[in-house]
């Protein structure tokens, strides 16, 4: 079952179980909001994939463009991290309403809901474990850093390298002529001024990997969300 199917399943459960009309409506609202955030994040990632192996130095165009490829890469990179993290906060809103955790909507975040679920007063440790697994994961910790940088600090550092690739003549390949490739690498820790790129987090491959891991955690949490 994919993420959207799990969201729809939760909405159906909530509609059958939750007695209050207003809370049912809020579950539906945040369920659709979660779908929207995931869609927006996926769109940003798709746009980044379109710029893979392209740069302002390698793409010739006669069209007058408002924004350079580099500027667009930075924009969609910031957008990706922002919406991926936002999907977790909207998920927290959904869990808060479905499970009647009692948080005011203005004060809900993924980290706050996790803190409550880990408390001794909360008995359902299954969903608490799923939240905790996400919070403690490398994927979440790195997501939190990139999102914090892009939203509250500055542009994330991206190293752009252009390399000439040439194959040995005489072999049956599409071309042995020199081809210029473009590789973009995210810095290891965006919160540091003395940046390093030792982890080789290539755009968009690293983002695809992070997206898949975070969606896995979201799916696990949705599966353990029991409306009351």
Q: Average pLDDT over the chain, rounded to whole?
A: 92
Res. 62: pLDDT tops 70: no
pLDDT, tens digit (0-9, with 9 covering 90-100), for 1-35: 899 999 999 999 999 999 999 999 999 999 999 99
| pLDDT per position as a tens digit, 87-108 | 999 999 999 999 999 999 998 9
* Whether the bond into 83 is cis, omega within 30 of 0: no
Residue 139 scores a pLDDT above 70: yes
Whether the pLDDT of residue 204 is over 60: the answer is: yes
pLDDT surpassing 70 at residue 196: yes
CB 18 within 8 A of CB 24: yes
Q: How far apart are CA 149 and CA 153, in angstroms?
A: 5
* pLDDT, average across residues 55-70: 75
- Does residue 223 surpass a pLDDT of 80? yes
Mind listing the pLDDT tens digit for each residue in 38-61?
999 999 999 999 998 888 877 666
Whether 52 contacts 204, CB under 8 Å: yes
pLDDT of residue 173: 63
Instruction: Give the C-alpha distances (Å, rounded to integers) separating 137 from 29, 112, 116.
Output: 28, 17, 19
> DSSP assignment, residue 225?
-
For residue 57, give the DSSP letter.
T
């Amino acid at each position: 079952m994919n993420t959207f199917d799990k969201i729809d399943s939760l909405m159906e459960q909530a509609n059958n179980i939750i007695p209050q009309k207003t809370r049912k409506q809020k579950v539906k609202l945040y369920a659709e909001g979660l779908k929207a955030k995931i869609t927006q994040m996926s769109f940003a990632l798709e746009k980044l994939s379109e710029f893979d192996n392209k740069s302002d130095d390698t793409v010739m165009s006669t069209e007058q463009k408002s924004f350079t490829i580099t500027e667009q890469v930075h924009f969609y990179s910031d957008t990706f991290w922002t919406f991926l993290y936002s999907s977790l906060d909207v998920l927290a809103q959904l869990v808060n309403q479905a499970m009647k955790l009692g948080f005011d909507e203005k004060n809900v975040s993924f980290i706050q809901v996790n803190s409550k679920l880990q408390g001794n007063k909360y008995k359902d440790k299954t969903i608490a474990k799923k939240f905790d697994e996400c919070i403690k994961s490398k994927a979440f910790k790195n997501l939190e850093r990139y999102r914090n940088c892009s939203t509250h600090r500055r542009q994330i550092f991206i190293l752009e390298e252009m390399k000439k690739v040439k194959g040995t003549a005489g072999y049956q390949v599409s071309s042995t002529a020199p081809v210029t490739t473009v590789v973009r690498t995210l810095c290891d820790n965006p919160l540091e001024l003395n940046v390093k790129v030792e982890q080789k987090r290539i755009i968009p491959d690293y983002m695809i990997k992070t997206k898949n891991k975070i969606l896995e955690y979201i799916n696990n949490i949705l599966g353990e969300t029991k409306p009351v």
